[in-house]
Amino acid sequence: MKTEKEKMLSGELYMASDEQLASERLQARIILKAFNESQPVEGEKRKELLHDLMGKVGKNFYIEPPFYCDYGYNIEAGDDVFFNFNCVVLDVMPVKLGDRVLCGPNVQIYTATHPMDAGTRGSLLESAKAITIGDDVWIGGGAIICPGVSIGSRSVIGAGAVVTKDIPEDVFAAGNPCKVIRSLI
């Protein structure tokens, strides 16, 4: 029989109130509190805290506090990734960011989702869908990346966009719902 964590990581319905998952979220929040309350001159301390929190980060990974996530260990970032102020990553399933991904302030990346059926949703079961963001992507401030979305390399997501479907490589996409506006090549 699968644990709730195994169910969560395989995209199945799972119970988020599970003791192990609650403990892991608490551990992430303790690290995030230290990170978010750190001083701007404490660059090494911030770097160590992020390395303790995240699953994998490349060189020159940088986040402007405050930052929030569920677990941290499901976030994988390439080299030269930057998150501006007040970003949220609900990393119930993997969030993979390529190299040189830039996230404006208030970017929200959500893998977590809930059943559409009210009865199932009322049972407090949840699920999630992984998110993949390619290399050299710029996500404008206030954009929301919804569960299961992939964003192709070298694309730009306009500020305030709500990305509900996959975005191909080399395009500018914006709006709510987000749609391709034009090619960048």
Catalytic choice (5, 29, 47, 114):
114
pLDDT value of residue 157: 98
Alpha helices of 4-151 — where are they, by DSSP H?
A: 4-9, 19-36, 43-53, 118-122
pLDDT digits (tens, 9 = 90+) for 77-90: 999 999 999 999 99
pLDDT value of residue 137: 98
- Answer yes or no: CATH 2.160.10.10 is held by domain 4-183: yes
pLDDT value of residue 138: 98
pLDDT digits (tens, 9 = 90+) for 152-167: 999 999 999 999 999 9
The distance of Cα 26 from the centroid of its chain, to the nearest Å, equals 18
pLDDT value of residue 97: 98
In this prediction, the residues of the chain whose per-residue pLDDT falls under 70 are none
pLDDT digits (tens, 9 = 90+) for 11-32: 999 999 999 999 999 999 999 9
114 is catalytic: yes
d(CA 157, CA 141): 9
pLDDT value of residue 152: 98
Residue ranges covered by each domain of the chain: 4-183
Give the β-pairing of 56-57 and 131-133: unpaired
Exposure class string for 42-56: b at 16+ Cβ within 10 A, else e? eeeebeebbeebbee
